[in-house]
A = this chain, B = another copy of it.
């Protein structure tokens, strides 16, 4: 996970929480599991999703793992402060899981596969510890789904820097569209993918702030140093691209982005 393309800075941690709280309902209105389910959250990070899905399923038992001790420390503190008591945190590596086969009723993995060079291997590994008949939920974004008004080539190029950098680190920022084939290739069945489109215009000021500015554009801005260092774009075009992303937050602006949520069964 040294290749994790998003930073571990405090600002980054804030961004991940901003992102989650804005998108809670869109992504998680149906993240509901049968009571008493044993759920593994693979790659919980700083618990941005845990803090939403655990309280939504108070009668389920969550085991949330992450490879980063730093993230786990922040995650534990947060979940404790929110008085959420149905989550156990553990250090763990998705590729070398320390659980018996068929330990869980459900596996939940959100914004993780995008960072892995071998997402199918990760899904294979997770499948082993999932009960027969158990289900998996995968949620991912797709930066190729970002388009906006006014349209801007410079903004598209700035976004593409993030896509290229993530690819250089072995990840895939366009993975959302790929959830269906990935789940099948990993051996899951009955896959249903449901796209969750975020459409923002100025009639939705919360999303203008919470999504366009504080989530998406903040994330793109986060790769400026890397993009310039690797000469993926000129400083001038970068600045124009970021300016144009902010331009979409004006009164006549529009911004579209789509997350993909897939659910499948371990038959």
**A interface, CB within 8 angstroms of B:** 142, 144-145, 147-149, 151, 174, 177-178, 180-181, 184-185, 191-195, 197, 199, 201-203, 252-254, 256, 258
Contact = CB atoms under 8 A, between A and B. Distances in A.
A261 to B, nearest CB: 11
Contact of A147 (B144, B151, B180): B144
Contact of A252 (B149, B185, B258): B185
A256 B258 contact: yes
Contacts of A148: 177
A263 to B, nearest CB: 12
Contacts of A142: 147
Contact of A192 (B149, B184, B192, B203): B203
- Identical chains in the assembly: 2
A258 to B, nearest CB: 7
Contact of A177 (B181, B195, B256): B256
Contacts of A256: 145, 177, 195, 258
Given A144-B147, A193-B201, A197-B197, 12 more contacts: A144-B151, A147-B174, A147-B177, A149-B180, A151-B174, A151-B177, A178-B254, A180-B252, A184-B252, A191-B203, A192-B203, A195-B256
A172 to B, nearest CB: 10
A102 B262 CA distance: 48
6 contacts: A147-B174, A149-B177, A180-B252, A195-B197, A195-B199, A197-B258
Contacts of A202: 180
Nearest to A192: B203
A159 to B, nearest CB: 13
A254 B181 CA distance: 8
